[in-house]
Structure 1
Amino acid sequence: MTQDQARVFVIDDEPDVREAMSMLIRSVGLQVETYGNALEFLNHYQLAWPGCIVADIRMPGMSGLELQEKLNAMGATIPLIFISGHADVPTAVRAIQDGAMDLLEKPFRDQLLLDKVQSAIRRDQERRTEAEALAQLHRLYDSLTPREKQVMAEVVSGKMNKVIASDLHLSTRTVELHRANLMEKLQVHSVAELVRLAQALEDNG
């Protein structure tokens, strides 16, 4: 099983439940890994693995909510779907507030679970695509020289080349060269694109 293949991690202390959910999810062509408890899963899981988690919210040892806390502390963004036969309202609210995608009460329809799993995998793919795009953006920005970063800041603030030259004590020609170089490095072709890129960097630290 390769690192780039989405899989569904099923965590439940009841073997019959694990097997039933595994068969159901595999029936639509998805890959599944099953675990009898949350600690076993945590000892195996790697953040780079795409997919989603389907976990019982109440299990012996580490509960589903405690698993969620551990995943959040790790910085995991993998979608988490809880299942429960007896979840009270405060538990459900806490799970959702802490980032769970959904909580399904047993008994639930097979199709409902499959729909939630497919939706969770799509969300995970979108998050990973966005994260990679942002990482690439930071790599491009980090390739700029300190002077190019200064010129960029001046450009996105709306200043003309002559004003930038005066502010930075450079010739207009030098500013033009820095501006051309930074736009090439950042792979943008207009000031509007540069402004959007700068905003994305600011919004995401």
Structure 2
Amino acid sequence: MKKISKIILADDHDVVKHGVEAIILQNISNPEIIKVASTNELRNQLLAHKNIDLVILDIKMPGGNTVDIVKDIKSNYEDTKILMYSAHDEPQYAVNFIRNGADGYLSKSQPLHKIALAIKVLENGKRFIDETFDVDLINKMGENDLSLSNLLSHREFQILSLLADGKSNIDISDELNLQKSTVSTYKKRIMQKLNIDNNIGLVDAYRTDFKIKAS
């Protein structure tokens, strides 16, 4: 069992960082806690501090794609655990990050004390997924079935989730810093992959994790 004591909290909301920090201080003896508010700060702190045991990472951070950050951490700091801390309860998000290397996924809707539980689970070399999710379903979705997270690229899935949130192409282009024409291209590609020709169908597909049967 590898003791977790050196932790980076990566979240752009101070109230979240303070709450998580308080729980860690109550449950871990003399932890070293580094707080950052963007992906650029996170990268800098990973370079500056050796042997980070755990990164607690919000899934939406200013400065970059968090899936890319997860991949980079696992490529360059293989002993560093990653716990995604998310406002999204949909299993597709958990699947997407677990598939790309995250060691755990915890919803922000859960009580703060679950942070301590998640850390203990990760210390024991196990993956942590909070109880709001069907773990067997997530294990299945992460492998070879035809769930949305497997059918779509990360960017396609990201755009689909924003469309399901009611965002327009212009809203999405602003949020993801993409050209409107690029968003339109992604949207067309998603529709082709899912064999859907309207926005209502896309929203329904996202919400029900619509699966395309192999031809």
Give the TM-score normalised by the residue count of structure 2.
0.50
1:64 and 1:82 in contact (8 A); partners too: no
Query: Cα RMSD between the aligned structures?
Result: 2.5
Q: Distance in 1 between matches of 2:36 and 2:71?
A: 18
Counterpart in the other structure of 1:202: none
Match runs of 1:119-158 below 5 Å: 119-123=121-125
> Is the partner of 2:54 in helix, strand or coil?
strand
Secondary structure of 2:97's aligned partner: helix
**CA deviation after TM superposition for structure 1 residue 54, in Å:** 0.6
> What is the distance in 2 between the residues matched to 1:106 and 1:56?
9
Partner of residue 107 from structure 1, selected from 74, 84, 109: 109
Tell me if 1:78 matches 2:80: yes
Structure 1 residue 35: Cα displacement:
0.7
Quick one: distance in 1 between partners of 2:91 and 2:61? 18
The correspondence of residues 23-102 of structure 1 with structure 2, limited to 5 A, is 23-28=22-27, 29=29, 30-46=31-47, 48-86=50-88, 88-102=90-104
Q: What letter corresponds to residue 26 of structure 1 in structure 2?
A: L
| CA shift for structure 1 position 123 | 3.2
Relative to structure 1, the CA distance from residue 27 to residue 63 in structure 2 (aligned partners, 3 Å threshold; closer, same or farther) is farther
Q: What code does the residue aligned with 1:104 have?
A: L
Shift of 1:70: 1.7
Aligned mates of 2:7, 2:124 — CA distance in 1: 12
- The share of aligned pairs that are identical, in percent, is 17
> Residues of 2 paired with 1:72 and 1:110: CA distance?
26
Counterpart position of 1:14: 13
Residue 87 of structure 1: CA displacement? 5.1
Please give the alpha-carbon distance, in whole angstroms, between the structure 2 residues aligned to 1:63 and 1:120: 24
- Give 1:166-177 correspondences, 5 Å limit: none
CA shift digits 1:119-166 (9 cap, x unpaired): 323439xxxxxxxxxxxxxxxxxxxxxxxxxxxxxxxxxxxxxxxxxx
Change (3 A) 1:73 1:36: same
Distance 1:88 1:63, change over 3 A: farther
Give aligned pairs, total: 121
For the 8 Å contact 1:79–1:123, the answer to whether it is kept is: no
SS in 2 for 1:22: helix
The amino acid that maps onto 2:13 is E
Deviations 1:89-144 (A, max 9, x none): 333212111221111112112221101113323439xxxxxxxxxxxxxxxxxxxx
2:7 and 2:56 in contact (8 A); partners too? yes
What is the alpha-carbon distance in structure 2 between the residues aligned to residue 56 and residue 88 of structure 1?
A: 15
Distance 2:14 2:8 in 1: 14
Deviations, residues 46-65 of structure 1 (Å, cap 9, x unaligned): 48414211110112222432
1:76 is matched by which residue type in structure 2?
Answer: E
In structure 2, relative to structure 1, the CA distance for the partners of 1:20 and 1:80 (3 Å cut) is: same
Once the two structures are superposed, residues 18-58 of structure 1 have per-residue CA deviations (whole angstroms, 9 ceiling, x without a partner) of 11111221122233111111220111214841421111011
Q: Any stretches of 5+ residues in structure 1 without a counterpart? A: 125-205
* 1:83 counterpart letter in structure 2: Y
Mapped partners of 2:74, 2:61: distance in 1:
19
Query: Is the helix fraction higher in 1 or 2?
Result: 1
The structure number with the bigger radius of gyration is 1
CA distance in 2, matches of 1:77, 1:24: 23
* Amino acid in the other structure paired with 1:95: F
Check whether the contact 1:11–1:35 (CA below 8 A) recurs between aligned residues: yes
